[in-house]
Amino acid sequence: MKWLKRLLFAFLFLLLVGGIIFFFFAGKIVDKQMNQSTLTELPKISEKAQKLHQTLNIADWHSDNLLWDRNILKRSKHGHVDLPKLLEGNVTLQVFDAVIKTPRGQNYNSNSDGTDNITLLAMGNRWHPKTWSSLCERAVYQSELLHKAEKKSNGQLKIVRTRSDLQNFLNARKSNNNQVAGMLSIEGLHALEGKLENVERLYNEGYRMYGLVHFFDNEVGGSSAGTKKGGLTDFGKQVIKKMEEKKILIDLAHASPKLIREVMKIATRPVVVSHTGVKGTHNSKRNLSDAELKMIANKGGMIGIGFWAGAVGSIQPSAIAKAMRYTANLVGIDHVCLGSDFDGSVKTYFNAAQLVVLTEALLKEGFTETEIHKIMGQNQIDFLLKYLPD
Ligand SMILES: [Zn+2]
């Protein structure tokens, strides 16, 4: 029976090694592959861009940083966002969103809700077991991650929930710019698990913006990459009503054209499209048409332009600047914002520490300094000061 003992021992050993790899390395390996950027160091930047960049209030509508097995307070070699990078990039406010569930083989054409990458990632990243089976718990957990980071940040990271939180932060940052504000957002209301009461539960966890859908159609409405790409469901209508009561911002990124139209018909507050491109410079199913841009801007909405090739055609800063120019020409400069999708399983040219590269590209594109102030963050900050809850 000696051979049986040996076999059992070998099996247990392999299980242990496999477990260690899975729970401590797998998530990190995926992260490294998924969130790359090109620049290893800053290229030569004009003095004008450098000076201007230091005077900006920079804000970004979308980062998936919370999904990854990283300490946000420490600089990591890979990835786009962490506290040191945000400080180095002179960022005032970063929206952190919770990714809830993504389909295997995710694409911009058609995805069902039948598969899920995030279960394995949640296990590999050693998230609480509650998150392995509950989509709502995944949102709760990611909020806790950011709140824990805030506590350990020695005041360098401040989560804003209200207008006065943001105003106080802006006042404090005037005398000490070694701090960043964070705001919580959700990517896909399958996080509600079909329960209206979870709108309030997630609000209480600190979330202030909800993206209605992600890569597949859910209980609320149709995704631009779903199988049916439908409009707003009856449950979705109740959700919108409740969100507006609570002053939770609506994010229409990833929404199907029908969903966008139907939400715009009933929304009484301006909406956000947190990370997108525009069909006018890159014709993709994922991007907004001219009619959609006008519909959203006419009601005071914000358009966050993405930094990845799927949004603007290439990762070059000039491509981002061109999409911003197109949008500004069509609907006005006051609606154009940053929607990086940093750490959103995309490759970018620069990371958060290197945002001055974009300031330079906007100057080259011919935007004035006032316009650059607006695009790089002032539009978003003014919007939040107006539309966050009291
Ligand atoms: Zn997204």
pLDDT in tens, 216-244: 999 999 999 999 999 999 999 999 999 99
Ligand 1 centroid–CA 353 distance in Å is 21
Q: Tell me, yes or no, whether 40 lies in a domain.
A: no
pLDDT of residue 300: 98
Q: Which residues contact 53 (CB under 8 A, 6 or more apart)?
A: 90, 355, 356, 359
Ligand 1 centroid–CA 162 distance in Å is 24
Q: Tell me, yes or no, whether 247 lies in a domain.
A: yes
Angle at 338 between CA 334 and CA 343, to 5 degrees: 165
Ligand 1 centroid–CA 211 distance in Å is 9
Q: Tell me, yes or no, whether 19 lies in a domain.
A: no
Ligand 1 centroid–CA 105 distance in Å is 15
Ligand 1 centroid–CA 286 distance in Å is 10
Ligand 1 centroid–CA 252 distance in Å is 10
Ligand 1 centroid–CA 341 distance in Å is 7
Q: Which residues of 24-36 are buried (b: 16+ CB within 10 A; e: fewer)?
A: eebbbebbeebbe
Q: Tell me, yes or no, whether 21 lies in a domain.
A: no
Ligand 1 centroid–CA 166 distance in Å is 25
Mean pLDDT value across the chain: 94
Ligand 1 centroid–CA 99 distance in Å is 8
Q: Tell me, yes or no, whether 14 lies in a domain.
A: no
Q: Which comes out higher in pLDDT, residue 28 or 100?
A: 100
Q: β-pairing, 272-276 with 58-63?
A: unpaired
Ligand 1 centroid–CA 234 distance in Å is 24
Ligand 1 centroid–CA 65 distance in Å is 12
Angle at 142 between CA 57 and CA 276, to 5 degrees: 50
pLDDT(86) > 90: yes
Q: Tell me, yes or no, whether 188 lies in a domain.
A: yes
Closest among 251, 253, 261, 189 to 230, alpha carbons compared: 261
- Within 13 A of 253's CA, how many CA atoms are on the CB side? 30
Ligand 1 centroid–CA 346 distance in Å is 10
Ligand 1 centroid–CA 329 distance in Å is 25
Ligand 1 centroid–CA 200 distance in Å is 23
Tally of domains in the chain: 1
pLDDT(328) > 80: yes
Place of tokens 């729970």: 23
Tell me, what CATH number does 199's domain have? 3.20.20.140
Per residue in 5-38, pLDDT (tens digit) is: 888 888 887 887 777 666 667 777 777 788 788 8
Q: Tell me, yes or no, whether 89 lies in a domain.
A: yes
% of the chain exceeding 90 in pLDDT: 84
Give the domain range for residue 378.
46-387
pTM greater than 0.75: yes
pLDDT of residue 237: 98
Ligand 1 centroid–CA 253 distance in Å is 7
Q: Tell me, yes or no, whether 41 lies in a domain.
A: no
Ligand 1 centroid–CA 375 distance in Å is 20
Q: Rg of the chain's alpha carbons, rounded to an integer?
A: 21
